[in-house]
């Protein structure tokens, strides 16, 4: 099932990133404060089974590799009981195989973090600027114009989010994206 973000995002530009305390695939527990040494934070609600999310792995991995000043954090909120491919154990496998190679890949078992951010699909990227150790939202939109898993974007994979990152790192405000992310709906628990 494909879902488009609604116009009623929980977070507006300039809002602070909601706090979290989540387990990572490396066995560590992460909070926002663990990324204070980065100029920007890219939080991507993603998962293991969705073809739309999988289609953006290479773009996410490349952003993590290319921008040392940007923490790229994947958060998997999906119901792993109904979707076993999204279990924590499978997340560890995806990181171990190199399919996912980010600053951190975290499990949102309660789904509270996804709700706090207003995430609705996978992938759903949120870019925050580090403002004196407060992360403020500057971009919430798609990675690029490839809206189906088997499409190639018209530019470098992830070029729209890369443009936003470049603006943040240059001390500028990214242009209003106006293009919501597209992907599989988050698999909420009943």
Query: Looking at the predicted structure, is the pLDDT value of residue 8 above 60?
Result: no
Question: Is the domain defined by 2-185 classed in CATH 3.40.30.10?
Answer: yes
The pLDDT value recorded for residue 79 is 97
Query: Measured between alpha carbons, how far is 76 from 47 in angstroms, rounded to an integer?
Result: 5
Q: Is 4 exposed, middle or buried (0-12, 13-18, 19+ CB in 10 A)?
A: middle
Q: Which two three-digit tokens encode residue 129?
A: 């600027």
In this prediction, residue 3 carries a pLDDT of 41
- Give CA–CA dist 81/141, Å, rounded: 29
Question: What pairs with residue 136 in β-bridges?
Answer: 16, 129
Q: What is the mean pLDDT of residues 27-41?
A: 97
Question: How big is the chain by its Cα radius of gyration, in Å?
Answer: 15
- Rounded average pLDDT over 25-35: 97
Torsion of CA 115, 117, 119, 125, to 10 degrees: -160
Q: For residues 122 and 187, what is the distance between their CA atoms, to the nearest angstrom?
A: 9
Place of tokens 């949102």: 108
For residue 28, the SS3 value is coil
Whether 188 shows a pLDDT value over 60: the answer reads: yes
Reduced to 3 states (helix: H, G, I; strand: E, B; else coil), residue 131 is strand
CB-CB contact of 60 with 98 (8 Å) = no
For 108-149, what is each residue's pLDDT tens digit? 999 999 999 999 999 999 999 999 999 999 999 999 999 899
Query: How many helices (H) and strands (E) are present in the chain, helices listed first?
Result: 5, 10
pTM of the predicted structure, to 2 decimals: 0.94
Q: What residues form DSSP beta bridges with 36?
A: none
- Which pLDDT band, with edges at 50, 70 and 90, does 177 fall under? low
DSSP state of 5: P
pLDDT greater than 70 at residue 29: yes
């Amino acid at each position: 099932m494909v879902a488009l973000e609604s116009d009623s995002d929980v977070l507006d530009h300039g809002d602070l990133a909601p706090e979290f305390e989540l387990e990572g695939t490396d066995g560590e527990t992460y909070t926002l404060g663990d990324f204070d040494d980065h100029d920007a934070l890219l939080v991507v609600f993603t998962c293991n089974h969705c073809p739309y999310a999988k289609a953006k792995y290479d773009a996410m991995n490349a952003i993590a590799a290319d921008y040392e000043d940007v923490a790229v954090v994947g958060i998997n909120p999906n119901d792993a009981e109904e979707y076993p491919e999204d279990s924590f154990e499978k997340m560890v496998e995806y990181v171990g195989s190199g399919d996912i190679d980010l600053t951190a890949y975290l499990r949102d078992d309660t789904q509270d973090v996804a709700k706090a951010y207003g995430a609705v699909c996978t992938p759903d990227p949120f870019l925050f600027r580090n403002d004196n150790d407060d992360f403020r939202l500057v971009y919430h939109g798609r990675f690029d114009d490839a809206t189906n898993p088997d499409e190639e974007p018209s530019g470098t994979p992830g070029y729209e989010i890369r443009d936003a990152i470049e603006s943040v790192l240059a001390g500028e405000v990214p242009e209003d994206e106006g293009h919501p992310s597209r992907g599989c709906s988050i698999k909420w628990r009943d």
